Amino acid sequence: MTREEFNAFCKSLPHTTHVVQWGGADVWKVGGKVFAIAGWTSNDTLGVTFKTSEIGYEVLKEMPGLRPAPYLASRGMKWIQHFDAPGLGDTDLCDHIKSSHRIVAKGLTKKMQRELDLYQDESD
């Protein structure tokens, strides 16, 4: 996945906003809360960081090319960083970014979820 593809995909998700911060990283938010970050690559693989479920975290952190996200995971947060090959294919990476968007949106206040018409009718 290229940086342009990452940004286009994140932009396609409901009620997202984009900022460039933290040393030039593309940071995507829903309701003002971060759900995906791209940047900080030292090779040909785009570094993508996303929030995941507890189970997803346990599975993904052991996969080649993935790791607990530096800084975030060290503080007990369930964030994964896709940083090297083989990592995830584009389809799987997009699925995890979409899931991260949903997890973060579900953590917003019920009022904000209603205002943005996000996931309030779904159960966890």
In order along its 124 residues, the chain shows pLDDT tens digits of 899 999 999 999 999 999 999 888 999 999 999 999 998 766 777 899 999 999 999 999 999 999 999 877 677 789 999 998 899 999 999 999 999 999 999 999 999 999 888 865 555 4
Order of all β-strands in the sheet with 48-51 = 16-21, 25-30, 33-38, 48-51, 79-82, 66-68
- Neighbouring C-alpha atoms within 13 Å toward the C-beta of 95: 7
Q: Please state whether 66 falls in left (phi above 0), alpha (psi between -120 and 50) or beta.
A: beta
Burial 1-10 (b: 16+ CB within 10 A, else e): beeeebeebb
Q: For domain 3-108, which architecture applies?
A: Alpha-Beta Complex (3.90)
Q: What is the pLDDT of residue 55?
A: 94
pTM above 0.75? Answer: yes
Would you list the domain boundaries of the chain?
A: 3-108
Q: What is the pLDDT of residue 124?
A: 44
